């Protein structure tokens, strides 16, 4: 990734969605298909039928009951408000030309990926074990933040896959440093593993590499996931009842929202227990 002009690192609040400062971009720019996650089909660039004129969701408190589970597990990591208020200077997609609206819809998913990287880099910089790569992480964070503030036309042409590749090298090194000594052996290396429906009740997964693992509907009841790397892991309907996720690496709130859990599930302090989990 080429060096970019430095900029102030984003505050943690800027890495969380603030729908009140967004023009409903996720409800318009992104497509979805009728499925278990969405009740209807919607084309990219077409407003969701539940989008209100004030850009709020008309069924926000009933999304799961109305068949829009997919909306409850999506997070733009602050891209919505950044694109709305900074990239396009407060100009919404309804008031501009059709070309301007299409450009906004093209830019939004690019910035969303960059904001996700900023979320991971910020977490990595908070890990004492990653101190040997803190300087590199800081430079990567500054460069990535600078990219999010480019002009819309530049963002639309950005090779975001290359940016992700460069950052991922650092995140992998961070993960190795943070997990050192927590888990050893072949069973701990489950990167990208197909664990759909796996019976892992009570499993010792301390320090496991579960990056990109498919854990859909897996039974992790009572499992010990302390220090495990869950970046990109698919946790849809994963049973985390009474599991221990304290100290887990690169977990996001949408991943938790997609899973099942209980009052006995131990979470890092920065996470919110999903409302649909059992008491």
Q: How many whole angstroms from its chain centre is CA 126?
A: 18
Q: What is the SS3 assignment for 197-223? A: CCECCCCECCCCECCCCECCCCECCCC
According to DSSP, residue 273 is labeled: P
Q: Supply φ then ψ for residue 57, to 5 degrees.
A: -90, 130
Q: Are 195 and 219 in contact (CB under 8 A)?
A: no
| Longest distance between any two alpha carbons in the chain, whole Å | 58
Q: What is the pLDDT of residue 58?
A: 93
How far, in Å, CA of 241 to CA of 271, rounded?
16
The alpha carbon of residue 9 and the mean position of all alpha carbons in its chain are separated, in whole angstroms, by 18
**HEC secondary structure over 33-44:** CCCCCCCCCECC
Residue 29: exposed, middle, or buried by beta-carbon count in 10 A (0-12, 13-18, 19+)?
buried
Tens of pLDDT along the chain (279 residues) come to: 444 444 556 766 789 999 999 999 999 999 999 998 899 999 999 999 999 999 999 999 899 899 998 998 899 999 999 999 999 999 999 987 789 999 999 999 999 999 999 999 999 999 999 999 999 999 999 999 999 999 999 999 999 999 999 999 999 999 999 998 786 555 578 999 999 999 999 999 999 999 999 999 999 999 999 999 999 999 999 999 999 999 999 999 999 999 999 999 999 988 999 988 986
Domains of the chain: 12-178 (no CATH), 184-279 (2.160.20.80)
Dist. CA 190–CA 176, nearest whole Å: 14
Q: Tell the residue number behind the tokens 């440093």, with chain if given.
A: 177
Q: Which residues pair with 224 in a beta bridge?
A: 204, 244
Q: Are 276 and 256 in contact (CB under 8 A)?
A: no
Q: Contact, 223 vs 215, CB < 8 A?
A: no
Question: How far is 151 from 148, CA to CA, in rounded Å?
Answer: 9
State whether residue 149 is helix, strand or coil.
coil
Q: In angstroms, rounded to a whole number, what is the distance separating the alpha carbons of residues 96 and 273? A: 39
Residue (of 84, 62, 82, 83) closest to 72 by Cα position: 62
Q: Is 138 exposed, middle or buried (0-12, 13-18, 19+ CB in 10 A)?
A: middle
H or E segment at 123?
A: helix 98-125
Residue-level pLDDT at 185:
53
This model's pTM is above 0.85: yes
- Helix, strand, coil percent content, the chain, rounded in steps of 5: 40, 5, 55
């Amino acid at each position: 990734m080429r060096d970019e002009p430095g900029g102030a690192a984003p505050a943690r609040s800027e890495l969380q969605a603030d729908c009140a400062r967004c023009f409903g971009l996720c409800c318009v720019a992104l497509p979805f298909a009728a499925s278990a996650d969405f009740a209807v089909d919607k084309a990219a660039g077409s407003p969701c039928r539940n989008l209100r004129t004030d850009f709020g969701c008309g069924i926000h408190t009933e999304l799961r009951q109305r068949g829009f589970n997919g909306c409850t597990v999506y997070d733009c990591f602050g891209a919505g408000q950044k694109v709305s208020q900074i990239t396009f200077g407060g100009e919404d997609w309804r008031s501009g030309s059709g070309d301007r609206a299409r450009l906004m819809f093209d830019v939004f998913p690019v910035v969303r990926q960059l904001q996700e990287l900023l979320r991971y880099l910020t977490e990595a910089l908070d890990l004492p074990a990653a101190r040997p790569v803190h300087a590199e992480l800081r430079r990567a964070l500054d460069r990535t933040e600078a990219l999010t503030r480019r002009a819309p036309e530049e963002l639309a042409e950005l090779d975001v896959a290359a940016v992700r590749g460069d950052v991922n090298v650092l995140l992998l090194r961070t993960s190795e440093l943070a997990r050192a000594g927590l888990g050893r052996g072949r069973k701990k290396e489950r990167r990208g593993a197909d664990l759909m429906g796996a019976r892992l009740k009570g499993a010792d997964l301390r320090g496991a590499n579960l990056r990109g693992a498919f854990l859909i509907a897996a039974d992790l009841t009572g499992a010990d996931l302390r220090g495990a790397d869950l970046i990109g892991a698919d946790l849809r309907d994963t049973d985390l009842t009474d599991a221990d996720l304290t100290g887990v690496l690169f977990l996001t709130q949408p991943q938790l929202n997609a899973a099942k859990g209980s009052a006995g599930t131990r979470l890092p302090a920065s996470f919110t227990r999903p409302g649909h989990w059992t008491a």
